[in-house]
């Protein structure tokens, strides 16, 4: 899902004033003089390392995008060890890269993820596979994840999980001496994210939001956090250091934990289906049942892909919801506007349906604005294996790794005046509203490789937010301090978000 620390070794080709090169691109490209990577401005490897480890950008890489854009302009190169990147930080340049991404887009060559899968003889899964193999898996997963009418079938399932979340919030408030505060909201919402996606995939309630959290849930959530942290560290150190440095071992162990939890849930479903088939009963069901019965994917492809869907479901919706509640608590006018929208469409705590959601335009604007301010994936990637790429007067050879600086683009004042402010209204349609460049804020990515979980994520966030605001007024905890984001491959709150949930009932 994520660019993280990139670990490919692009052929660092430069051909100043290239003429008549061997190329698959048009004749026009071969006669025009293009500049190349070496002509780009950018920090040296030492300056980058200094920025990361001395200036503290290692876990604030989103802020480094903004600083480098100021220093070098909208396109610059950077070097991390043997890795060379071309960074693009405007909506227009991001669009140009995506438009040339080819039939089977690749984010980055995740060689350490691939190494793990080879070590354990597992299928590569969605993130690591490229080309037709990736497309084969994606085509099997897409329909029941991305088609709106298929996803709408999950509304009752997700509403049940939201009911559990509400119960959990009531329970946690009671545990606090002030009767209203819930500490470390993101931690609670990780459980909601995991329960939500697993209910959809496995049709099984795991009880992640019960008083006693199941061990496997805790294990998976912890393993996801460890894997994402070590995924950034592992590529920085040569393989010979693995015998005495802990990072690779921790990375492997985190993947093992996630894989085992996913595998055991899948195996349970396989057994259920086998028993039903033996008894001659009809086998029908939602996501996993459909995948297994259709046999579009092998069992080993199902293990890896579903583990990745679970992984995608943990940190993403939860962090977005955490930031949403954080801002609503600090902006009474926006909170009131949202409350009025929800309570007028669903009076008396009516549980929202898909028809209600389709009318909640302000709610959608709130979530869009949060994803603009805190894109879960602040920097994405594309590596073009199929063709060269032209960006304005630069030509880049195949295998150039591009870093799409989405965070810098969505904080760009040219696209979003008062970019640092939380202004959901900017997303509402109207004749006088500012028109955004279509690539200025694309938190789920675009094109065929965009987020496979987008529809499910939106459904979970809308249903949860609607019910939470029906029940509670959100307030910051007493003496609350501002919380800044940090990056751990994904963008997450840099400190626990503690909040007061004042009952409206």
Closest CA to 364 of 449, 446, 425, 438: 425
CB of 291 to ligand HEM, least distance (A): 13
For residue 295, the SS3 value is coil
H/E stretch holding 216: helix 215-233
- Is there a contact between 134 and 276 (Cβ–Cβ < 8 Å)? no
Out of 456, 465, 466, 499, point to the residue binding ligand HEM (CB under 6 A): 456
- Is there a contact between 472 and 169 (Cβ–Cβ < 8 Å)? yes
- Is there a contact between 33 and 18 (Cβ–Cβ < 8 Å)? yes
CB of 305 to ligand HEM, least distance (A): 8
**Does 308 help bind ligand HEM (rule: CB under 6 A)?**
yes
Out of 90, 380, 441, 487, point to the residue binding ligand HEM (CB under 6 A): 380
Out of 379, 445, 485, 493, point to the residue binding ligand HEM (CB under 6 A): 445
Select the span of 23-31, 210-218, 353-361, 447-455 touching ligand HEM (CB under 6 A): 447-455
- The smaller minimum CB distance to ligand HEM, of residues 37 and 457, is found at 457
**Does 307 help bind ligand HEM (rule: CB under 6 A)?**
no
**Does 452 help bind ligand HEM (rule: CB under 6 A)?**
yes
CB of 101 to ligand HEM, least distance (A): 9
Measured between alpha carbons, how far is 323 from 422 in angstroms, rounded to an integer?
A: 11
Contacting ligand HEM within 226-285 (CB under 6 A): none
CB of 135 to ligand HEM, least distance (A): 9
For residue 502, the SS3 value is strand
Report DSSP state, residue 35: B
Measured between alpha carbons, how far is 455 from 144 in angstroms, rounded to an integer?
A: 10
- The contacts of residue 209 (CB under 8 Å, 6+ apart) are 161, 164, 165, 167, 168, 191, 192, 195
List residues bridging with 401 in a β-sheet.
85, 383
CB of 141 to ligand HEM, least distance (A): 8
**Does 313 help bind ligand HEM (rule: CB under 6 A)?**
yes
**Does 457 help bind ligand HEM (rule: CB under 6 A)?**
yes
Distance of CA 35 to the CA centre of its chain: 33
**Does 424 help bind ligand HEM (rule: CB under 6 A)?**
no
Q: Which residues of 217-230 are buried (b: 16+ CB within 10 A; e: fewer)?
A: beebbebbbbbbbb
- How would you list the strands of the sheet with 472-476, edge to edge? 181-182, 499-503, 472-476
> What would the x/- binding string for ligand HEM be over residues 355 to 374, using CB under 6 A?
----------------x---
- The smaller minimum CB distance to ligand HEM, of residues 105 and 235, is found at 105
CB of 438 to ligand HEM, least distance (A): 14
- Is there a contact between 324 and 462 (Cβ–Cβ < 8 Å)? no
- The contacts of residue 306 (CB under 8 Å, 6+ apart) are 201, 262, 265, 266, 288, 291
Contacting ligand HEM within 117-156 (CB under 6 A): 126-127, 138
- The smaller minimum CB distance to ligand HEM, of residues 352 and 453, is found at 453
> What would the x/- binding string for ligand HEM be over residues 197 to 216, using CB under 6 A?
x-------------------
**Does 4 help bind ligand HEM (rule: CB under 6 A)?**
no
Measured between alpha carbons, how far is 220 from 416 in angstroms, rounded to an integer?
A: 37
Out of 83, 419, 450, 483, point to the residue binding ligand HEM (CB under 6 A): 450
Select the span of 82-90, 375-383, 408-416, 480-488 touching ligand HEM (CB under 6 A): 375-383
**Does 493 help bind ligand HEM (rule: CB under 6 A)?**
no
Closest CA to 190 of 469, 424, 496: 496
CB of 459 to ligand HEM, least distance (A): 9
Out of 60, 62, 107, 168, point to the residue binding ligand HEM (CB under 6 A): 107
Select the span of 12-20, 37-45, 280-288, 438-446 touching ligand HEM (CB under 6 A): 438-446
- The smaller minimum CB distance to ligand HEM, of residues 247 and 287, is found at 287
CB of 478 to ligand HEM, least distance (A): 29
Measured between alpha carbons, how far is 140 from 123 in angstroms, rounded to an integer?
A: 15
Query: Is 346 labelled a binding residue?
Result: no
Q: What is the dihedral of CA 419, 361, 437, 152, to 10 degrees?
A: 120
**Does 405 help bind ligand HEM (rule: CB under 6 A)?**
no
CB of 311 to ligand HEM, least distance (A): 7
Closest CA to 475 of 497, 491, 496: 497
Closest CA to 140 of 341, 247, 295, 304: 295
**Does 223 help bind ligand HEM (rule: CB under 6 A)?**
no
Select the span of 51-59, 274-282, 440-448, 481-489 touching ligand HEM (CB under 6 A): 440-448
The angle formed by the CA atoms of residues 241, 245 and 250, to the nearest 5 degrees, is: 120
Tokens of 254: 């985190």
> What are the start-end ranges of the E strands in 181-338?
181-182
- The smaller minimum CB distance to ligand HEM, of residues 306 and 342, is found at 306
List residues bridging with 361 in a β-sheet.
none
Q: Residues comprising the binding site? A: 451
Q: Residues comprising the binding site for heme? A: 451
- List residues near ligand HEM by CB under 6 A: 1, 107, 126-127, 138, 197, 308-309, 312-313, 316-317, 320, 371, 376-377, 380, 443-445, 449-453, 456-457
């Amino acid at each position: 899902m994520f660019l993280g620390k990139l670990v490919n070794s692009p052929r660092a080709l430069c051909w100043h004033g290239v003429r008549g090169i061997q190329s698959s691109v048009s004749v026009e490209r071969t006669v025009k003089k293009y500049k190349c990577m070496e002509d780009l401005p950018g920090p040296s490897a030492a300056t980058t390392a200094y920025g990361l480890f001395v200036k503290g950008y290692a876990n604030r890489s989103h802020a480094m995008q903004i600083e480098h854009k100021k220093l070098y302009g909208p396109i610059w190169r950077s070097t991390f060890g043997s890795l060379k990147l071309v960074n693009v930080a405007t909506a227009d340049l991001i669009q140009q890269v995506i438009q040339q991404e080819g039939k089977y887009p690749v984010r980055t060559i995740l060689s350490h993820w691939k190494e793990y899968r080879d070590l354990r003889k597992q299928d590569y899964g969605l993130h690591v596979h490229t080309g037709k193999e990736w497309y084969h898996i994606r085509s099997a997963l897409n329909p029941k994840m991305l088609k709106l009418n298929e996803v709408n079938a999950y509304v009752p399932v997700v509403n049940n999980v939201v009911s559990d979340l509400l119960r959990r919030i009531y329970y946690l408030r009671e545990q606090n001496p002030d009767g209203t505060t819930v500490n470390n909201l993101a931690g609670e919402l990780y459980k909601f994210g995991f329960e939500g996606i697993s209910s959809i995939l496995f049709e099984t309630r795991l009880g992640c939001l019960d008083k006693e959290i199941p061990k496997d849930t805790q294990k998976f959530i912890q393993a996801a956090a460890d894997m994402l942290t070590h995924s950034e560290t592992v590529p920085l150190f040569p393989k010979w250091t693995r015998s005495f440095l802990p990072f690779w071992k921790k990375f492997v162990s985190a993947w093992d934990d996630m894989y085992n939890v996913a595998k055991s849930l899948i195996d349970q479903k396989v057994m259920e289906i086998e028993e039903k088939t033996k008894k001659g009963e009809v086998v029908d069901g939602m996501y996993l049942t459909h995948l297994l019965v259709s046999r579009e994917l092998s069992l080993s492809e199902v293990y890896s892909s579903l583990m990745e869907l679970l992984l995608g479901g943990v940190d993403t919706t939860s962090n977005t919801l955490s930031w949403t509640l954080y801002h609503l608590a600090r902006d009474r006018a926006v909170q009131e506007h949202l409350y009025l929208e929800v309570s007028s469409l669903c009076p008396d705590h009516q549980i929202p349906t898909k028809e209600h959601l389709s009318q909640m335009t302000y709610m959608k604007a709130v979530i869009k604005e949060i994803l603009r301010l805190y894109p879960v994936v602040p920097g994405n990637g594309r590596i073009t294996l199929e063709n060269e790429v032209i960006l304005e007067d630069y030509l880049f050879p195949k295998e150039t790794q591009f870093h799409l600086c989405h965070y810098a683009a969505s904080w760009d004042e040219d696209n979003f005046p008062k970019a640092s402010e939380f202004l959901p209204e900017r997303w509402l349609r109207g004749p006088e509203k500012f028109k955004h460049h279509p690539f200025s804020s694309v938190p789920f990515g675009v094109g065929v490789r965009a987020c496979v979980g987008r529809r499910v994520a939106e459904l979970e966030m809308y249903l949860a937010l609607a019910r939470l605001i029906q029940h509670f007024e959100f307030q910051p905890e007493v003496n609350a301090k501002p919380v800044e984001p940090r990056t751990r491959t994904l963008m997450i709150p840099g400190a626990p978000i503690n909040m007061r949930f004042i009952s409206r009932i």
